[in-house]
Amino acid sequence: MEKWENNKAWFLVLPVFLIVAFSAIIPLMTVVNYSVQDIFGPGNAVFVGTEWFEEVLRDTRLHDALGRQFLFSGLVLLIEIPLGILVALAMPKRGWGVSASLITLALPLLIPWNVIGTIWIIFTRPDIGLFGVAVNGLDLLSVPFDHTARPIYAWITLMAMEVWHWTPLVALLCYAGLRAIPEAYYQAAKIDGASALAVFRYIQLPKMRGVLTIAVLLRFMDSFLIYAEPFALTGGGPGNTTTFLSIYLVKIAVGQFDLGPAAAFSLIYFLIVLLLSFIFYQVLLNVGKGEKR
């Protein structure tokens, strides 16, 4: 659709700009302020330039946390996006099943994040949790399953929780995209004798690009910033093996109250998310544009 060119449209956007800017700009500037000063107390701060940034960039524990964060977010996207698409493809298209599926999918999304972590603690307990008992009942593991015992188990538990919690969001969004495809497309494909795979590749996938952009970006941002769930479930352990960036950040900011380094860390963290989101956004916006008919 061609758009009208009209700069007066700014008046419609202005209220949104103001309400978001109220909460966004002043806190951001304050954090920038912290990041270049050494603060001893109220009204007692010294300008230190880029010292905190250099200190943070040299911090090896931060590098480890960043690596873990990339692994975690990468796994999240690799599992949740395809699984969400599959669920959306399998969902019924009409009848009572639609409402039932939508409601079932939405339930995990409505539980507060700290509660999610707490439920999964008991759900995966090897003595009284369903998941823990079931996994140990299979008797496949040399060391009994307990997410506090071994890093790999902690990771499996976290991934299971994350996939359980957020795949429904991807599925809901993809379902919306699929329902928007006019029936005529499918009829045309049927006449051409297209296989199910071809229908998916050339009709459903391109038509889902918009919703997939939202899904990938939301899942990337939220998994990269994840805090409440792993904090409640593993507290970053065993050792530091599930200490993600935000958990490490809170350790510096609240635990040690090092406001300067924490602020510098936050800004670097923010820029990483921003840069990667921008790349995802541009790629998803432009991919496959050439083959559009």
Partner 1 sequence: MKNRKRYIALAVYFVLLMLPIYWMLTMSLRTNADILSSFSYYPKNLTFTNYIKIFTDRAWYSGYINSLIYVTMNTVISLSFALPAAYAFSRFKFLGDGQMFFWLLTNRMAPAAVFLLPYFQLYSTVGLIDTHIAVALAHCLFNVPLAVWILEGFMSGIPREIDETAFIDGYSFPRFFITLFIPLIRAGVGVTAFFCFMFSWVELLFARTLTVTNAKPIVATMTRTISATGLDWGLMAAAGTLTIVPGALVIWFVRNHMAKGFALGRV
Angle of the 209-224 helix axis to the 60-90 helix axis, nearest 10: 150
Nearer to partner 1 by C-beta: 4 or 40? 4
Nearer to partner 1 by C-beta: 36 or 105? 105
CB of 63 to partner 1, least distance (A): 17
CB of 241 to partner 1, least distance (A): 20
Q: Quick check: 201 and 189 in contact, CB under 8 A?
A: no
Residue 116, classified by CB atoms within 10 Å of its CB into exposed (0-12), middle (13-18) or buried (19+), is buried
Nearer to partner 1 by C-beta: 154 or 232? 232
21 phi/psi in degrees, rounded to 5: -65, -35
Residue 230, classified by CB atoms within 10 Å of its CB into exposed (0-12), middle (13-18) or buried (19+), is buried
Q: Quick check: 120 and 161 in contact, CB under 8 A?
A: yes
Amino acid at 219: R
CB of 38 to partner 1, least distance (A): 16
Question: Distance from CA of residue 43 to its chain's centroid?
Answer: 38
Q: What is the spatial distance between Cα 102 and Cα 172, in angstroms, rounded to a whole number?
A: 7
CB of 189 to partner 1, least distance (A): 16
CB of 282 to partner 1, least distance (A): 10
Nearer to partner 1 by C-beta: 51 or 222? 222
Beta bridge partners of 285: none
CB of 29 to partner 1, least distance (A): 8
DSSP state of 225: T
SS3 at position 13:
helix
Nearer to partner 1 by C-beta: 153 or 220? 220
Amino acid at 249: L
Nearer to partner 1 by C-beta: 131 or 153? 131
